[in-house]
Amino acid sequence: MNRRAFKGLGVYMLLLLIGLAIYYMVVNREKDVYKDYDNEKLMKDVQNGNIDEIEIAQNKEVPTGKVYVSYVDGSEVIYYTSDVNETYKSIKEIVGNNIKVKLDDVEKPSLFQKFAPYIFALFLALIVLFIIMGQNAANVAASNGGNKYMNFDKSRAKKDIDTGLTFKDVAGMTEEKEELNEIVDFLKDPTKYAEMGARIPKGVLLVGPPGTGKTLLAKAVAGEAEVPFFSISGSDFVEMFVGVGASRVRDLFADAKRNSPCMIFIDEIDAVGRRRGTGLGGGHDEREQTLNQLLVEMDGFGNNEGIIVLAATNRVDILDPAIMRPGRFDRKVAVNNPDIKGREEIIKIHTRNKKLSEDVNIHEIAHTTVGFSGADLENLMNEAAIRATKLERKFITKEDIDKSFIKVGVGTEKKSKLISEVDKKITAYHETGHAILFHELSEVGPVHLVSIIPTGPSAAGYTMPLSENENSHVTRKKMLQNIMVEFGGRIAEELIFDDITTGASHDIKMATQAARDMVIKYGFSEKIGPVNYETNDEGEVFLGRDLGHARMFGEVVASEIDAEVKRIIDDCYKAAKSIIMNNMEVLHKGAELLLEKEKITGEEFDKLF
């Protein structure tokens, strides 16, 4: 039992004792009366010479009373009598003057005697009530950092004296760490910058997709500089009560000034830093007041007071322009998905405390995880460790990582799912059609793994390519080949079964979107030309944009765009169909091998050619 629970139990025990005391004083004060003693027994004791003195006390309103009998040996008996006068006469007749018999007048207790037990009980109850109220207040203060009803306008930032992280714990971000080294140096020694007349940026905005390590990098900066780290989410500022968010911003910066030099980190700043004056909230909602106060506070502290504000977001496009100007968030640091070298470094960090077998090649894992973020890689190695533990092994094997890669990438394989032979055959030809195009086309392959084992919610199989290079630019040729690959499964079904299924619906969707992006977004269409006709249809109201959004082109251009998208789709479909028809023997052999083994590697598939 913990200390707080023990104190609570003590209070309830005290209440129980007080209740028993009140019951004893008020209700059960006559428990010393002998129920089986009467006048007949008294006469016997008088005749035997055991009685020394008898005193009869009358009740106030009725002729009843109590008889106090004192024995020669010093003991005493008390019993009730129904008629005081009759009892007195009968006792006097028997005992005569040998024993002192006294009849008292009706007792009239004082007011203090009458109400003292009740006053005492009330006094104890009030004491217990104050104890309980004080204990509840202490509990709330301990759990919420103060009374939650009185301190709801205070900052909810979490303060860490030591984050326990440095740049050594951050991999795959060489340039990002170099850029933030200036911030670390300033936090360690701000005076030398002041002597030179230099102004260190007040704020740094970390921009990048989810899972790339923005929060980790911020903690590493504070740990490297050895300064207090105040962390808070943008949504923690905004409340339903008007003015609470602004008050929390003021309190946060006041606390930071008391702990200078220090660092403030605001995660998901887009929750409070969205563009003002747009959407359904107008210009006077609580979120905008909070943003205004944040802008004022960042202008309010001096250039070299020793406070650095870091913020993270993956939606920099919806931030208010005022938050991006010099003097607020002076710098933007892009934190993108790691390249192959960065992935290799990240995997080494996430396997420091894990035992790997000899067949695990970290460079190969980094090569096959193109597009993975740092969080994805951590999840991959964690899933591999979980699988090895379930199989009661002391180390992680290559098989564990491969199985986890499939689980993370396309979903858990459902080997127990019952599938008809017809569906298996259709899936085998479908996936082989994709694999042939991956093998034959230069910009999209080669094949890494082909499977007809169902995965995820609805996928009947999958074909996984192995990217040999990581180009930051996507060429027109690569986009066209990606569209061709999407149609590989549908074309195989059409050639073999003289029919098509719904299994290619997702492939068609992806191909159509890619073709439309080529025309209206990237200017890859020779007929339309290098003109951007892209419109933002992703819920402008909720992204801080205008309530309505007009299309930027007319009906004639819209028809031309549709016709060009259709032309690209048709050309890619014909080119893909020609390639598969030239490799019909491989199509049959690949499908047969898949039906036999359910899963084949890229090396096994290459041998079919």
Could you tell me if 449 and 602 are in contact, meaning their C-beta atoms sit under 8 angstroms apart?
yes
Catalytic pick among 176, 413, 431, 486: 431
Examine the domain organization and report whether 302 and 185 are in the same domain: yes
Here the CATH number for the domain that contains residue 55 is 3.30.720.210
Here the CATH number for the domain that contains residue 384 is 1.10.8.60
Question: Tokens 């998905």 belong to which residue?
Answer: 337
In a domain, 20, yes or no: no
Judge whether residue 313 has pLDDT over 80: yes
In a domain, 486, yes or no: yes
Among 334, 366, 387, residue at a domain's last position = 334
Amino acid letter at 307?
I
Q: In degrees rounded to 5, what are phi and psi of residue 229? A: -125, 110
CA distance 180 to 213: 14
Examine the domain organization and report whether 553 and 459 are in the same domain: yes
Residue 211 assigned as binding residue = yes
Examine the domain organization and report whether 209 and 324 are in the same domain: yes
The whole-model pTM stands at 0.65
Mean pLDDT of 500-514: 90
In a domain, 146, yes or no: no
- pLDDT band of residue 381 (cuts 50, 70, 90) is very high
Judge whether residue 25 has pLDDT over 60: no
CA distance 310 to 207: 11
Instruction: Name the residue range of residue 306's domain.
Output: 158-334
Mean pLDDT of 274-298: 70
Q: What is the pLDDT of residue 547?
A: 47
In a domain, 523, yes or no: yes
CA distance 438 to 498: 23
Indicate the length of the chain as a whole number: 609
How many domains does the chain fold into? 4
CA distance 264 to 236: 14
Among 375, 409, 443, residue at a domain's last position = 409
CA distance 306 to 460: 58
- The model's pLDDT over 76-121, given as tens digits with 9 standing for 90+, comes to 887 777 677 777 777 777 776 677 776 666 666 656 656 666 777 7
Residue 214 assigned as binding residue = yes
Label the pairing between strands 76-81 and 65-71: antiparallel
Residue 463 assigned as binding residue = no
Q: Is residue 82 classed as helix, strand or coil in its secondary structure? A: coil
Q: In degrees rounded to 5, what are phi and psi of residue 459? A: -75, 130
Residue 430 assigned as binding residue = yes
Q: Which helix (H) or strand (E) holds 568?
A: helix 555-581
Examine the domain organization and report whether 330 and 346 are in the same domain: no
Examine the domain organization and report whether 306 and 356 are in the same domain: no
- pLDDT band of residue 239 (cuts 50, 70, 90) is low
- pLDDT band of residue 9 (cuts 50, 70, 90) is low
Q: Is residue 432 classed as helix, strand or coil in its secondary structure? A: helix
Neighbour count for residue 274 (Cβ, 10 Å):
23
Residue 306 assigned as binding residue = no
Question: What is each CA distance from 377 to 2, 246, 364, 527, in whole angstroms?
Answer: 40, 38, 13, 43
In a domain, 149, yes or no: no
Residue 213 assigned as binding residue = yes
Highest mean predicted confidence (pLDDT) among 369-378, 397-406, 465-474, 504-513: 504-513
Label the pairing between strands 203-207 and 307-313: parallel
Amino acid letter at 422?
V
**Maximum C-alpha span of the chain:** 142
Among 312, 334, 356, residue at a domain's last position = 334
- The model's pLDDT over 156-208, given as tens digits with 9 standing for 90+, comes to 667 777 788 888 888 888 888 888 888 888 888 877 877 887 777 788 899 98
Examine the domain organization and report whether 347 and 240 are in the same domain: no
Residue 434 assigned as binding residue = yes
In a domain, 143, yes or no: no
Examine the domain organization and report whether 271 and 309 are in the same domain: yes
Examine the domain organization and report whether 326 and 445 are in the same domain: no
Residue 413 is classified by DSSP as: B
CA distance 17 to 197: 73
Examine the domain organization and report whether 546 and 511 are in the same domain: yes
Neighbour count for residue 111 (Cβ, 10 Å):
7
Give 564's contacts (C-beta < 8 A, 6+ positions apart). 519, 525, 527, 528
- The model's pLDDT over 569-607, given as tens digits with 9 standing for 90+, comes to 999 999 999 999 999 999 999 999 988 888 888 888 888
Examine the domain organization and report whether 174 and 261 are in the same domain: yes
Judge whether residue 513 has pLDDT over 90: yes
Give 278's contacts (C-beta < 8 A, 6+ positions apart). 544, 545, 546, 547
Could you tell me if 56 and 81 are in contact, meaning their C-beta atoms sit under 8 angstroms apart?
yes
In a domain, 113, yes or no: no
Q: Which of 426, 437, 445, 450 is nearest to 581 (CA)?
A: 437
Could you tell me if 466 and 602 are in contact, meaning their C-beta atoms sit under 8 angstroms apart?
yes
In a domain, 228, yes or no: yes
CA distance 151 to 142: 13
Residue 512 assigned as binding residue = no
Examine the domain organization and report whether 319 and 388 are in the same domain: no
Examine the domain organization and report whether 443 and 592 are in the same domain: yes
Residue 73 assigned as binding residue = no
For the record, the structure tokens of 507 come out as: 């492939």
Here the CATH number for the domain that contains residue 304 is 3.40.50.300
Q: What is the pLDDT of residue 604?
A: 87
More confident site: 516 or 39:
516
Least confidently predicted of 38-52, 79-93, 275-289: 275-289
Q: Is 93 a catalytic residue?
A: no
Here the CATH number for the domain that contains residue 515 is 1.20.58.760
Q: What is the pLDDT of residue 241?
A: 54
Q: What is the pLDDT of residue 470?
A: 65
Q: Is residue 464 classed as helix, strand or coil in its secondary structure? A: strand
- pLDDT band of residue 412 (cuts 50, 70, 90) is low
